[in-house]
Structure 1
Amino acid sequence: MTRSLLTASLAMLLAACGQSPDVPDADGRAVDALVDAQFDAFLATDPEAMTVLGIDNPDSRLAAGRLTDASLVRRAELRDTLAANLAALDDIDDDAFAPQQQRTLEMARWFYRSQADLLGFDWSPAWLPLGTNLYAVDQLSSIPMSLPGFFESAQPVTGAAEARNYVARLHAVATKLDQVRDNLDLQARHGVVPPRIALEGAALQIRDLVRVGVDASPFVRAFARKLDGAQGIDAALREELLRDARSAIEDATLPAYARLLARIEAAIATQDADNGVWALPDGADYYAAALRWNTGVGIDATQLHALGHDEVSRIRGEMAAIVRDRLPLSDIDTPPGDTGVDAAKAADAGVSDEDREALRALVQARLDAIEDRLPGYFSALPTQPLDVQLAPSGTSGTAAVYYIPPGGDVRPGTLMIDVAQVRALPEGGLPTLIYHNGLPGHHLQVGLAQAQVALPRLRRSLAPTAFTEGWAMYAERLAVEMGVYDDDPQGDLGRLRAELVHAARLVVDTGLHSERWSLAQAQAYLRDVAGMSEAQARTEAQRQLVRPGRACAHTVGLHTLLALRSHARQSLKTRFDLRAFHGVLLDNGALPLDVVSRAVDAWIAASKTEDAGGAG
């Protein structure tokens, strides 16, 4: 959609509402409709995003058997779309609209501008950083690595039509992987080659995928499980669909992975370096753009690096105080900073059903206890229930506790407990994960955001990481204020251990990509300062190497929300209302931190005006 067309659309929408673009307090429906139109047009070109978001409309149904285009032609189209959307929004006078529409405009501009910045480099890949990583190939969540997970977790199969879409998308994997190869070549021509550890990690996983063949393929296994739960598929049709899937994998999917593997192996032969983005052409500018996207605030890498070191010092001091003042020597199970992760690579095979249920009940009791305290801190609470479930026995993921958001009125929020991972935690490590992911963390924030049904789709779909994870860490701190650790110093120490890991990640991220740290230097820091084992520190350092800026979101989010609360408290003094402050943060949905800051300032100003009016 061109800038002129978008501007004309806004004028028509305002006219339909009987308003002029420069009339104060113009009907906010015009802004909401324009942002919805932009974002819906954006999504219409991204079939995978529509699937993940559960969108059901003519566009999503038409694209249900396709994968998102990652061609070099698409890269140019994305740039044009981002520029046109941003230009149309920049033509709007925010002061003509109510505060909620101003927040919508600010968020939309931030989204399109930050994504355009990341896509603007000659070597930028043909997809938005929102959806995947910087490099065409890496060992984590680049397209080749994430496709099996997409088919496993996101691709629905409730009936025959969706099953055939699954098969169609298996055929489409070949085109998608060939497009990835084109992007890998594009980046190489500009001197941008993934670090050696990323190439080797990706090659190892692809070799395994190709080696296991068709029947043991994760694509086939996931499809078979989904077919078992589908409606209207008898045994004959099930076998026919599985046969079609096997053919697609044998003829299209695996050969495309093999072609990509050959290209990756050629790159490994010439890549010996494991440097951060500082070593790339315009790497410093790219990292600055990545930080703006991941943090939502204008703090540069040097400031962030210093913030990380300050936070590490503060947290270690608080941990030492707990050990000194609140823990008898016999209660100290691990040194301050030790994550205890090596304690259990143990599976939960030996755990009885009674013990598993006891763990589930313990988590539920923690949630019930803190839920009783929430009304004193929040004026509104989510209506969606929060279920506590145990991951199936014999399976083990990468997190001890993780959150699955509600699916509207169909599916409640779920706090998933991985028994094996919980057993790996040091004493006191579990409570903060419950509060972070459940209440008053992710479930409370997501539930209240989902209740804002009048907001445009962009604001209901996009969740800036610095806010969502910053809120979850703020919730950990709020649990302290609620008194849940008054008689649980080990739990408080566990909370600080988790905070320390996030602060150390901030130091390492900025160290690798701005301070020119080596991978070995980053690994040593995580081991010596955050208490990670050698193996965990190595994996963690390699993760930060290929995800520039992402590890900064948590600590920056927490730091910003605490600073905003302090600012509001100092500004309003005895008139400060913590429940009202939380309402400002949560009733707007998830916003970029700079936009949150402006919303808090507006609330402070309005509160002072109301008090002045009442006094008069």
Structure 2
Amino acid sequence: MLNRRHMLLAAAAAGVAAVEGAPSLARARTGEVGRLNALLDAIMAQQLRLSPETTTGLGLDVGELAWTKSELGDRSSAAIQAAELRNREQLAALRAIDRATLKGMDAVNYDTVAFLQAVQDEANRKFSYGGGAVGAPYVLSQLTGAYQSMPDFLDTQHTIETKADADAYLARMEGFARLMDQETAIARRDMAQGVIPPDFVIDKALVQMKAFAATPAADAPIVKSVVRRAKENKIPGDWAGEASRIYEGSVLPALKRQIALLESVRGQATHEAGCWRLKDGGDYYAVALKSYTTSSMTPDEIHQLGLDLVKSISAEADKLFKTIGMSKGTVGERMRALGQDIYPNTDAAKEQLIQDLNAKVAFIQQRLPAYFGALPKAPLEIRRVPKAIEAGAPAGYYNSPSLDGKRPGIYWINLRDTKEQPKFYLSTLTAHEGIPGHHLQGSLSNEASLPLIRKTVWFSGYGEGWALYAEQLAVEMGVYKTDPRGHLGMLHDALFRAVRLVVDTGMHAKKWSREQAVKYMVDTMGDEESGAITEIERYVVWPGQACSYMIGKITWLRARAKAQKALGKAFDIRAFHDAGLLSGAMPLTVLERVIDDYIVSKGGKA
């Protein structure tokens, strides 16, 4: 799935030579600024050539880049090694530019790309597993692997309007099979080094893979997608026959080879959850934390921060519970009681749930102008997570709109079981994934005057931190003024992100078991165990990612408090938000410097 969590530069490290036909968005200037802009253009051009998924995700697979629409990236061992070399060369070229001469957004652009490349280079030099991804040690799991992401990518990202588009779709189906075989080879190599996912991760992945493999061609989502859209656009041809032939002859055999590999190592898998057990696992976790949080906090510091926040947020929730007459039991027990108010677990009720979420979005949109100067042009759609992947998918996530404006932002909600989506925190989930969360941030970044590479990079600390900050901002915007239960939903999710700090560091640094982490989450928050298990297993395969949310939120709040103090009555929250959002995604250390510059620009002292 080409989504905000794994997107774009992670797929293939960039090179330094421009590619014919790639868009050049950098301004033509001289000196070090000109060198920087030329290099950023070259980086992005190489990325577009090496990662056709990126080109499609951005809506740029047209014109001179139309050839990329029938292609997918390369995950062979040779391609990964070549990407490591390109990243190293590119980082050297960037460091050859005199950073001291750069000011304003040029400095932001430099620091942002330099951080990204430096962390990637550190991971490349230290670790030989994970297929080049930072913070995802297992090539195949319930959340990683083309089997999990590609069907949705083909259905929601690959547009079909002409026969050429449909033909390109079929070519990508063949490419999908190739990707799976390349992943199988990398996973086998990693497993020979002892990098075998925990037994419960393998089991969940096998459940999903076998459900995929058991689906007949006529019912397969990747077959039905091309057939449906070719029919809608009146494109003649035997699309069902052609897609079924590829599905049965290429896709399913490659998938079954992955199933066979996981089954062959299942007996060697341990039940240990943390990456500490891997080769250089402690160092791996440190680099993953740096990549995801873009901070220098240690696992011990993050663990203690989580414990402190659990205590303070629980106390705040306790006070609010008492105002609605709920004073007995732990905060977790009272959260569980609120969680009993759910939609029926039927398709009709799930459709109603999505309609209600759209109404919440409309309600929040009316309040945006008082808090933001710039507002997104791209529309937001709310869709249900496809049933084929809902077993391992998170509760909600977001896909950014395409740059050409043809594809909207999409907020996906997981409705496998409505008891995992209680009514009292749906408003908060919508504020996080939709507005003023990921959709507002991602769309404004797309629409800002930034080099293309800055529109494609993702920093979890910045983006997830913003979305969590947005949940609290919704309180300030009056979203819960007459809805104390909804406000408790916001506190539930804040508590959830504090708990994540504890359990992520608990498993990966303090050797907690999966069961210990699940119990802590359930006891502290009162969530359904099934939902807690999905969350904990997610943190197992993405070590460090879960810590980015709260660390990012704290940074956004600290930056705002600093601006408020420095500017006093001159502080304008709309200008503050615009300064942070229109500068694009960046490491949190860079965000703090951007806000300092904003303070000075408004006459304050940073």
* 1:184 counterpart residue number: 187
* 1:125 counterpart residue number: 130
Describe the superposition over 1:148-184 as per-residue Cα deviations: whole angstroms up to 9, x where unpaired.
Answer: 2222322332221121222222222333222112212
Which deviates the most, 40-49 or 276-285? 40-49
* 2:241 counterpart residue number: 243
* 1:614 counterpart residue number: none
Q: CA deviation at 1:326?
A: 4.6
* 1:255 counterpart residue number: 253
* 2:584 counterpart residue number: 589
Aligned partner of 2:437 among 425, 441, 448: 441
Describe the superposition over 1:82-129 as per-residue Cα deviations: whole angstroms up to 9, x where unpaired.
Answer: 111111111112232331111111111111112222333442233434
Cα RMSD (Å):
3.5
* 1:376 counterpart residue number: 370
> Which structure has the larger Rg?
1
83 and 417 in structure 1: CA distance in 2 versus 1, 3 angstrom threshold: closer
259 and 379 in structure 1: CA distance in 2 versus 1, 3 angstrom threshold: closer
For residue 376 of structure 1, what is the amino acid of its counterpart?
A
Which deviates the most, 117-126 or 464-473? 117-126
Q: How does 1:300-379 map to 2 (within 5 A)?
A: 300-327=298-325, 335-338=333-336, 346-351=344-349, 356=352, 360=355, 363=357, 366-379=360-373
1:112 aligns with 2:112: no
Secondary structure of the residue aligned to 1:64 is: helix
Q: Distance in 1 between matches of 2:502 and 2:496?
A: 10
Q: How does 1:14-53 map to 2 (within 5 A)?
A: 19-21=30-32, 28=33, 30-53=35-58
55 and 315 in structure 1: CA distance in 2 versus 1, 3 angstrom threshold: same
573 and 35 in structure 1: CA distance in 2 versus 1, 3 angstrom threshold: same
Q: CA deviation at 1:215?
A: 3.1
* 1:100 counterpart residue number: 105
Q: Distance in 2 between matches of 1:381 and 1:276?
A: 41
325 and 396 in structure 1: CA distance in 2 versus 1, 3 angstrom threshold: farther
- With a CA cutoff of 8 Å and minimum separation of 6, indicate the structure with the bigger relative contact order: 2
Please tell me whether the aligned partners of residues 585 and 596 of structure 1 are also in contact (alpha carbons under 8 angstroms): yes
* 1:216 counterpart residue number: 219
For residue 559 of structure 1, what is the amino acid of its counterpart?
I
Q: Distance in 2 between matches of 1:4 and 1:473?
A: 34
165 and 435 in structure 1: CA distance in 2 versus 1, 3 angstrom threshold: same
Aligned partner of 1:63 among 68, 72, 76: 68
308 and 329 in structure 1: CA distance in 2 versus 1, 3 angstrom threshold: closer
59 and 259 in structure 1: CA distance in 2 versus 1, 3 angstrom threshold: farther
491 and 94 in structure 1: CA distance in 2 versus 1, 3 angstrom threshold: same
Q: CA deviation at 1:286?
A: 0.9
Q: How does 1:215-294 map to 2 (within 5 A)?
A: 215-231=218-234, 233-234=235-236, 237=237, 239=238, 241-294=239-292
Q: CA deviation at 1:513?
A: 0.6
428 and 166 in structure 1: CA distance in 2 versus 1, 3 angstrom threshold: same
Q: CA deviation at 1:253?
A: 1.6
Q: Distance in 2 between matches of 1:393 and 1:289?
A: 32
Q: How many residues align?
A: 584
* 1:579 counterpart residue number: 574
313 and 201 in structure 1: CA distance in 2 versus 1, 3 angstrom threshold: same
Where do 5+ consecutive residues of structure 2 fail to align? Answer: 1-11, 19-23
Q: CA deviation at 1:45?
A: 0.9
Aligned partner of 1:206 among 190, 206, 209: 209
Please tell me whether the aligned partners of residues 40 and 453 of structure 2 are also in contact (alpha carbons under 8 angstroms): yes
Q: CA deviation at 1:575?
A: 4.1
485 and 350 in structure 1: CA distance in 2 versus 1, 3 angstrom threshold: closer
Please tell me whether the aligned partners of residues 462 and 586 of structure 2 are also in contact (alpha carbons under 8 angstroms): yes
Please tell me whether the aligned partners of residues 396 and 420 of structure 1 are also in contact (alpha carbons under 8 angstroms): no
Q: Distance in 1 between matches of 2:28 and 2:559?
A: 36
Describe the superposition over 1:503-522 as per-residue Cα deviations: whole angstroms up to 9, x where unpaired.
Answer: 21221111111111111111
Which deviates the most, 192-201 or 421-430? 421-430
For residue 437 of structure 2, what is the amino acid of its counterpart?
G
For residue 581 of structure 1, what is the amino acid of its counterpart?
F
Please tell me whether the aligned partners of residues 16 and 39 of structure 2 are also in contact (alpha carbons under 8 angstroms): no
* 2:514 counterpart residue number: 519
481 and 260 in structure 1: CA distance in 2 versus 1, 3 angstrom threshold: closer
Q: Percent identity?
A: 30
* 2:460 counterpart residue number: 465
Describe the superposition over 1:355-406 as per-residue Cα deviations: whole angstroms up to 9, x where unpaired.
Answer: x39x73x55554455444433332332344556x575999996677765544
Please tell me whether the aligned partners of residues 462 and 588 of structure 2 are also in contact (alpha carbons under 8 angstroms): yes
Describe the superposition over 1:572-597 as per-residue Cα deviations: whole angstroms up to 9, x where unpaired.
Answer: 44443333222221121222211101
Given the two structures, how large is their TM-score scaled by the length of structure 2? 0.86
Q: CA deviation at 1:55?
A: 1.8
1:498 aligns with 2:493: yes
Please tell me whether the aligned partners of residues 342 and 424 of structure 1 are also in contact (alpha carbons under 8 angstroms): no
Q: Distance in 1 between matches of 2:173 and 2:350?
A: 39
Please tell me whether the aligned partners of residues 506 and 551 of structure 1 are also in contact (alpha carbons under 8 angstroms): yes
Q: CA deviation at 1:417?
A: 7.0
Q: Distance in 2 between matches of 1:502 and 1:2?
A: 30
Please tell me whether the aligned partners of residues 347 and 396 of structure 1 are also in contact (alpha carbons under 8 angstroms): no
Describe the superposition over 1:196-226 as per-residue Cα deviations: whole angstroms up to 9, x where unpaired.
Answer: 1122222232223223343333322233223
Secondary structure of the residue aligned to 1:455 is: coil
Q: Distance in 2 between matches of 1:519 and 1:281?
A: 20
293 and 125 in structure 1: CA distance in 2 versus 1, 3 angstrom threshold: same
1:530 aligns with 2:530: no
Where do 5+ consecutive residues of structure 1 fail to align? Answer: 8-12, 22-27, 612-616
284 and 582 in structure 1: CA distance in 2 versus 1, 3 angstrom threshold: same
Q: Distance in 2 between matches of 1:315 and 1:2?
A: 40
Describe the superposition over 1:253-275 as per-residue Cα deviations: whole angstroms up to 9, x where unpaired.
Answer: 21222222222111112223333
405 and 428 in structure 1: CA distance in 2 versus 1, 3 angstrom threshold: same
Secondary structure of the residue aligned to 1:269 is: helix
580 and 211 in structure 1: CA distance in 2 versus 1, 3 angstrom threshold: closer
Q: Distance in 1 between matches of 2:455 and 2:299?
A: 30
Please tell me whether the aligned partners of residues 341 and 424 of structure 2 are also in contact (alpha carbons under 8 angstroms): no
Secondary structure of the residue aligned to 1:192 is: coil
3 and 405 in structure 1: CA distance in 2 versus 1, 3 angstrom threshold: closer
Q: CA deviation at 1:555?
A: 1.1
Which deviates the most, 250-259 or 430-439? 430-439
491 and 396 in structure 1: CA distance in 2 versus 1, 3 angstrom threshold: farther
Secondary structure of the residue aligned to 2:268 is: coil
* 1:10 counterpart residue number: none
Given the two structures, how large is their TM-score scaled by the length of structure 1? 0.85
Q: Distance in 1 between matches of 2:213 and 2:380?
A: 39
Describe the superposition over 1:421-465 as per-residue Cα deviations: whole angstroms up to 9, x where unpaired.
Answer: 77864443232233323332233223322221x311111122322
